[in-house]
Structure 1
Amino acid sequence: MTQGHGLDWPALFATRAERMKASEIRELLKLLDQPDVISFAGGIPDPALFPADAFSKALGAALTGANRGAALQYSVSEGYRPLRDWLVSRMASLGVACTADNIVITSGSQQGLDYLGKLFLSKGDTALVGWPTYLGALQAFSAYEPNYDRLTPLANRTAADYRETARAKGGEVKFAYASADFANPTGETLGESARQSILDLAAELDIAVIEDAAYQSLRYDGEEVPPLLALDIARSGHIDSTRTIYCGSFSKTLAPGLRVGWVCAAKPVISKLVLIKQAADLHSATLNQMAIHTVASEGFEAQVDTIRDVYRTRRDAMLAALAKHMPEGVSWTRPDGGMFVWVTLPQRFDGAALLAESLKTERVAFVPGRAFFADGSGANTIRLSFSCANEAMIDEGIKRLARAVQA
């Protein structure tokens, strides 16, 4: 270092650091503190719906009597055993027969995605993802310097084509990533035939399937579709013979701030994830896991029923407002659950430019769609979240947004 000059930090960073980009969504969340902005930006739960009293009681119980030492002590990397046992029952209700040894607790499902990127991706390998797909997954995987290819279930594209494309870029196809239920950002759900097609493709390529099930519990209409992991077990006969890795989360149902998620998969995958967990943070916070276990055990289904009713009403309000106010040429998805509506504007539009204008003139926030595309396309799309706005705010916000579109 030359005296009088600062260290050239970028020259010391690993090449992967060049792929680390700020989340547009994280930046937009700052707008929530501005009272005059109607925000459809952050895909976050309504804090008014958190079971705060139940957590207060559970945390107090964890810090008294015989539990106090365990709650504040180091613990096993696999996670709090009673919580993993509860998750065995939860997974069974979804058609996934497993044991506690098939589950590792993570600090939110986002950590699970990061660990899976670390486990599977060497530089130059290919990940198959949706177009668009969850921005957080792209951020997690991109640190490991992969290439991306478009996962197109039911499309006329062969395994050989995927393989040849990946090898031409210097690597192998390693996994297919899919958010099968009420996907972030589109709100769309894959039907059973599309899920079976993903499993067929994965079998031909002999790759893993990462199932992001963060919104799986938030169904408002329609029939339940079995998780990819359940379909995989039906094919293979046992979870330890499957290729699907299920990433679950309590963030959308109980509380995101405690950062508790889980991965359910074949034991060889879980054992490697446990080693990664040991090296990264030893284990997720035991106190938080204990609180989640208590609250989930005493009232998970009741909590889910409550938030479903509220979010269903808000979804209906947003769809009605879009139909009422949006000009011709604008289209949108009609999700059966989740937190998002995906809006497609005419080709001449740029979502980022529209956001700047909307904030300036109408004080309405949303997320431009380009961030959700691995190739930076989709400029004429935007994501709207209805989870944190009441019906009156939704109607007023969509009316203002439509005005900005018309302008």
Structure 2
Amino acid sequence: PDIISFAGGIPDPSLFPAEAIGDAYQAVLGGAEAGAALQYQVSEGFLPLRKWLAAHMGKLGVQCDEGNIFITSGSQQALDYLGKLFLSPGDTALVTWPTYLGALQAFNAYEPRYDRLNTAGGNMTPEAYRAAAAANGGKVKFTYLVPDFANPTGNTLDIKQREAVLDLAGELDIAVIEDAAYRALRYDGEGVPPILALDCARSGGIDHARTLYCGSFSKILSPGMRVGWVCAPRHVVEKLVLMKQASDLHSPSINQMVMHRVAETIFDAQVDKLIGAYRKRRDALLGALEANMPDGISWSRPGGGMFVWLTLPEGTDATELLARSVKEARVAFVPGNAFYADGTGRNTLRMSFTLADDRAVNEGVPRLAKLLRG
């Protein structure tokens, strides 16, 4: 309990809209919807929620309707389903170095090989990617990335980088899995169109697109309710529905109905509330790093999201550092090598600021800096 933790990549529970969610549960169970809330649901998901999400995607530049929306039990389930849909053992998935650990865990069950996607440029040629995949006995099936305030780095792709991802995917004729879990949490600057929006513009509409957008309510309203969604071409949604029917049949009816009520009434206000709180915590962490960290250490300066990514001097092992930090400085973080498909990046670490109050920042960062100075 005396350990100051920058490790957990979770939202602050004190900011959950608990009253609004409680009121919505009471309204659903106390009215005419009670029977439907406790009954089986169609595998695609609760229709009013899918319609709300289609309108929400429209505001992001993606023209679609409820037939393009599929409700999942959190976006983590979407990653599992998409891995199952595309990957056979030996196939190749293109991911960033580093990337979201949960995606690697979801895809690993289907025994892929990973190749590196360089969003800053300098990728291999499509022919080289194909040859490397074929040498492993499979094909390149998709690229996966978090384009907005990525977990773990906090980095965001600009529009040229997003277009370049689409160019490469087109040349390889593969899907793009766009993980948008942190998109709404922008603290600085103007938003960049989703990759799916750019794809729709160049392909002639969502049903001709190759991008599959994975969204989530977990970072904004509640992770415990486990409600996420996929926005995708109809032919992909149809396959995902078959998987859902064979898996858990549908996400909980009552949670979907409550999420719909809450989203349509307070979503934008809740986003504004989180931005106000998390921006201050990000600024405090960046300021403390600037004031305390020794030379030779660099870090990301995210425009949103939940994470700051530190790069330590070559030869430093963040896993070994964590053991010392917890014992000597009573400070925790996440070593970076877990986010690399090949286990490299041992001189990197992730710090989350969403739960970092003033004490955590003002005491924890100087303690960690002192340990790094030796």
Same fold (TM > 0.5): yes
Partner SS state of residue 245, structure 1: strand
Matched AA of 1:293: H
- Find the partner of 1:280 among 242, 247, 252: 247
**How many angstroms apart in 1 are the aligned matches of 2:187 and 2:122?**
28
Partner SS state of residue 242, structure 2: helix
- Find the partner of 1:395 among 347, 358, 362: 362
Match of 1:120 in 2: 86
CA change 1:376–1:263 in 2 (3 A) is same
How far does the alpha carbon of each residue in 1:303-358 deviate from its partner, in whole angstroms, 9 at most, with x for none? Answer: 00000010000000000000011111000000000000000000121011000000
**How many angstroms apart in 2 are the aligned matches of 1:185 and 1:156?**
21
- On the 8 A contact 2:24/2:262 being kept in 1, the answer is yes
How far does the alpha carbon of each residue in 1:57-106 deviate from its partner, in whole angstroms, 9 at most, with x for none? Answer: 00111111211111111110000011000001100010000010001000
Give identity over the alignment, percent.
64
Match of 2:278 in 1: 311
Query: Superposed, which structure 2 residues align to 1:1-400 within 5 Å?
Result: 35-153=1-119, 154-400=121-367
Matched AA of 1:295: V
Structure 2: segments with no counterpart, 5+ residues: none
**How many angstroms apart in 1 are the aligned matches of 2:265 and 2:123?**
47
How far does the alpha carbon of each residue in 1:232-260 deviate from its partner, in whole angstroms, 9 at most, with x for none? Answer: 00101110000000000000000000000
Match of 1:25 in 2: none
- On the 8 A contact 2:227/2:255 being kept in 1, the answer is yes
Structure 1: segments with no counterpart, 5+ residues: 1-34
Count of aligned pairs between the two proteins? 373
Partner SS state of residue 292, structure 1: helix
Partner SS state of residue 374, structure 1: coil
- On the 8 A contact 2:117/2:123 being kept in 1, the answer is no
CA shift for structure 1 position 156: 4.6
**How many angstroms apart in 2 are the aligned matches of 1:99 and 1:155?**
37
Partner SS state of residue 99, structure 2: coil
**How many angstroms apart in 2 are the aligned matches of 1:247 and 1:156?**
24
How far does the alpha carbon of each residue in 1:15-64 deviate from its partner, in whole angstroms, 9 at most, with x for none? Answer: xxxxxxxxxxxxxxxxxxxx211110011000000000000000111111
**How many angstroms apart in 2 are the aligned matches of 1:254 and 1:391?**
24
Partner SS state of residue 346, structure 1: coil
How far does the alpha carbon of each residue in 1:252-305 deviate from its partner, in whole angstroms, 9 at most, with x for none? Answer: 000000000000000010000000011110000011111111111001000000
Moved over 2 A (4+): none
Match of 2:373 in 1: 406
Partner SS state of residue 115, structure 2: strand
**How many angstroms apart in 1 are the aligned matches of 2:109 and 2:77?**
13
**How many angstroms apart in 1 are the aligned matches of 2:178 and 2:248?**
23
Match of 1:30 in 2: none
**How many angstroms apart in 1 are the aligned matches of 2:123 and 2:59?**
34
**How many angstroms apart in 1 are the aligned matches of 2:235 and 2:70?**
12
Partner SS state of residue 71, structure 2: strand
